[in-house]
């Protein structure tokens, strides 16, 4: 009986071991196939890849130009906002000065 249990245990261990390595082999086989396909790329496929790379490079350069333009516009917008605030303050101060001078002239006219 001891011999039968030992034999079954060894058999199960070997079966599990075999299944494990068989699964590893099925995992690594597709990787090997993919690397072989990459090495055997057609000339047309390579040309298409190079064309797409050129288009992507061109689009990235245009994107960088647009981003730099946006930065310039954003800076100018902030500057204009500051100028508007400053001008509104100056306008309020000047209108207050005009009102004060008008009040002084009215007082002078009232004295006459």
Summarize pLDDT for 31-63 with one digit per residue, the tens: 555 555 555 667 777 788 888 999 999 999 999
Same-domain pairing of 4 and 15: yes
Query: Could you tell me the pTM of the whole model?
Result: 0.43
Same-domain pairing of 7 and 61: no
Q: How far is residue 112's CA from residue 108's CA, in Å, rounded to a whole number? A: 7
**Count of domains in the chain?**
2
Selection from 67, 66, 70 nearest residue 78 by Cα? 70
Same-domain pairing of 49 and 30: no
Q: How far is residue 106's CA from residue 91's CA, in Å, rounded to a whole number? A: 22
Same-domain pairing of 36 and 49: no
pLDDT surpassing 90 at residue 112: no
What domain range is 3 assigned to? 1-40
pLDDT the model gives residue 83: 95
pLDDT surpassing 70 at residue 26: no
User: From residue 48, how far is each of 33, 53, 59 by CA, in Å?
Assistant: 22, 9, 16
């Amino acid at each position: 009986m001891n011999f039968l249990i030992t034999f079954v245990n060894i058999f199960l261990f070997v079966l599990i071991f075999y299944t494990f390595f068989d699964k590893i082999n099925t995992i690594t086989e597709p990787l090997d196939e993919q690397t072989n396909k990459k090495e055997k790329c057609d000339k047309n496929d390579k040309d298409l890849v190079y064309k797409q790379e050129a288009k992507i490079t061109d689009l990235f350069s245009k994107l960088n130009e647009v981003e730099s333009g946006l930065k310039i516009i954003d800076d100018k917008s902030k500057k204009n906002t500051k100028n508007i605030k400053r001008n509104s303050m100056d306008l309020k101060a000047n209108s207050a000065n005009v009102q004060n001078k008008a009040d002084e002239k009215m007082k002078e006219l009232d004295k006459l």
